[in-house]
């Protein structure tokens, strides 16, 4: 069963991601795992909800372009830091807990160094909230997520 706004921890994660996106000047931020599980998408200046088809497609592009080529390294615990400023998709991403990444998305120019600093400051809260969520049993569920929580 997917989790959403009825779960207080998910709601706090949504608010943390939406706040991070707004603070960085991006339209949204999300947490994705190495199995392509999209845990939460926080949309700047919007209340918690799960109808995020545009953002889901962006997360899929991020997963295919950035995570798939690095899956072996990510699964071995290599930290991933990615910044993309060229082209239609712009983002700053940072991995955590061995299998997750937090991504702030942009549809316009942004200051990468400032965004990376804000992501670093927000990461402890985002990590704690993500790890406090119940395991997903839907698409993208991976045994690695259960191991991280154990």
* Residue 38 predicted with pLDDT over 50: yes
Strand extents, DSSP E, the chain:
28-33, 38-43, 81-84, 90-96, 100-106
Residue 42 pLDDT > 60: yes
Q: Which of 86, 81, 28 is nearest to 59 (CA)?
A: 28
Q: How many CB atoms sit inside 10 A of residue 79's CB? A: 10
Residue 3 located in a structural domain: no
Question: Could you report the per-residue pLDDT of 49-67, keeping only the tens digit for each?
Answer: 888 899 999 999 999 999 9
Is 109 a member of any domain? yes
Q: How high is the pLDDT of residue 136?
A: 67
Tokens 């712009």 correspond to what residue?
A: 90
Structural domain includes residue 130: yes
In this structure, is residue 119 part of a structural domain?
Answer: yes
CATH number of domain containing 134 = 3.30.450.30
In a domain, 1, yes or no: no
Distance CA 108, CA 98 (A): 30
Residue 75 pLDDT greater than 90, yes or no: no
Q: What is the mean pLDDT of residues 27-52?
A: 94
The domain tally of the chain equals: 1
- Residue 101's domain spans which residues? 8-149
pLDDT digits over 123-145, tens only?
A: 999 999 999 999 865 444 444 34
């Amino acid at each position: 069963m997917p989790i959403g706004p009825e779960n207080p921890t998910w709601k706090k994660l949504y608010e943390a991601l939406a706040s991070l996106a707004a603070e960085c000047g991006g339209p949204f931020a999300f947490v994705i795992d190495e199995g392509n599980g999209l845990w939460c998408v926080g949309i700047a200046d919007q209340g918690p909800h799960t109808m995020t088809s545009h953002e889901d497609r962006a997360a899929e592009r991020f997963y295919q372009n950035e995570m798939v080529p690095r899956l072996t390294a990510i699964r071995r615990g290599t930290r991933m830091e990615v910044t993309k400023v060229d082209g239609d998709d712009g983002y700053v991403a940072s991995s955590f807990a061995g299998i997750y990444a937090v991504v702030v998305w942009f549809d316009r120019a942004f200051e990468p160094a400032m965004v990376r600093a804000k992501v670093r400051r927000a990461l402890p809260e985002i990590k704690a909230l993500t790890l406090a969520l119940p395991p997903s049993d839907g698409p993208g569920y991976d045994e690695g997520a259960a191991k991280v929580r154990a």
